[in-house]
Structure 1
């Protein structure tokens, strides 16, 4: 099902997925920002549960590809439900319009979290933008850096979890290369876990070459497998 009302330079339509959550189509890459088979289900299964963020006492999350904020909202909601502090830092090269973020979030989990509402207020109205936004509310620090993550400075040894949620390797190959995944591995704290929806062979090999212990997991709806990769001591 689609709702054609929202529009922007890269968004053709909001997509309502089978679990009732929403994502949107990105016209530049010709793909949806999240799973068409269940955007919220993918956020929970691949990213929160896949990285152990759903049970961590004080998660520090680094996200590659903020998109329309589905993973961020799910993580905010999970931390709030458990009453634990959250530090969340996402990178986004091409921010979607504020109206699109608001429409995708409507009625969804985390949509009323104070950090999400504060981020929407500060978000560039028509998308685009540069620099970064940071808000602190509801026990969470939520930061979005508007930059090309391929050349941006990443925190060293900081993240307890890393959400690798770029567009698919066939459409956006640069974020899946051995050189970049090696940089991501260094951003993980010891014991930190990278989660991604892709289970492609070259992605597994890139993560393993970066020194991570790679594990296959059952995929979210619509995918047979996904990956988790652990930075060991």
Structure 2
């Protein structure tokens, strides 16, 4: 059977995957690395949090090929900050595809990329649904949850930021609704931020109805605007951040 994923080179020179099934690329064709940094690492406020040298907890919806994870882990290592990263996806690309993307060398974290590749190589076909804790060096932990995101449960007020990087509402409509955003709102700490690439009106309304305060911000090349959604501080709550 033909590989359902095709490797393409984006305009900033970094690579991404194109899904023939969903007819979408994992990251922007205008620049995969640029988008990952601008929309998620910077846009969620995680980049600044990592400079505090306090533990940072990130939840990602849509792990894909791991680019968002790798740039975040590289930033954590640079700042000597502990990172706890939980990511959900229905499936992970093959070890061969991960290797061909070259993300480890791209972000200066070849060891972390190798760990993911070796773990993926241990499965001859699809990764069985379940939760996997990958052994990593330094002060980084990666928990991969493979399965249906709508069936996942999250502890309340546990994450400093959320990367919402699922395929668009046309491909994954069940994830872009108030019911699912409400679960994420409860999982986010007070004052935390959810970042995503979509600024569609129904997405903003769904986030707002779930309790988020939503703002559009300038996007990376090829995208006029992207979205940041904050969980307001609870009355009388004082953050130590």
The two structures have a TM-score, normalised by structure 2, of 0.88
- Deviations 1:78-131 (CA, angstroms, capped at 9, x unpaired): 11111111111000112211111121135321441x333222211235443221
Q: C-alpha distance in 2, partners of 1:50/1:27? A: 28
Q: CA deviation at 1:132?
A: 2.2
Contact 2:86 2:144 in 1 (8 A): yes
Runs ≥4 in structure 1, deviation > 6 angstroms?
Answer: none
Instruction: Note the 1:39-54 alignment, pairs <5 A.
Output: 39-54=32-47
| 8 Å Cα contact 1:194-1:228 kept in structure 2 | yes
Alpha-carbon distance between aligned partners in 2 of 1:96 and 1:128, rounded to the nearest angstrom: 9
- Return closer, same or farther for 1:90/1:33 CA change in 2, 3 Å cut-off: same
Partner of 1:187: 187
Q: 2:62, 2:165 within 8 Å by CA — same for their partners in 1?
A: yes
Alpha-carbon shift at residue 221 of structure 1 (Å): 1.5
Q: What TM-score results when the alignment is normalised by the length of structure 1?
A: 0.91
Partner of 1:4: none
Q: Aligned to 1:229, what secondary structure does the other structure show?
A: strand
Q: How much does 1:52 deviate?
A: 0.8
The structure-2 alpha-carbon separation of the partners of 1:74 and 1:117, relative to structure 1 and needing over 3 Å to count, comes to same
Instruction: Report the aligned-residue RMSD.
Output: 1.5
The equivalent residue for 1:3 is: none
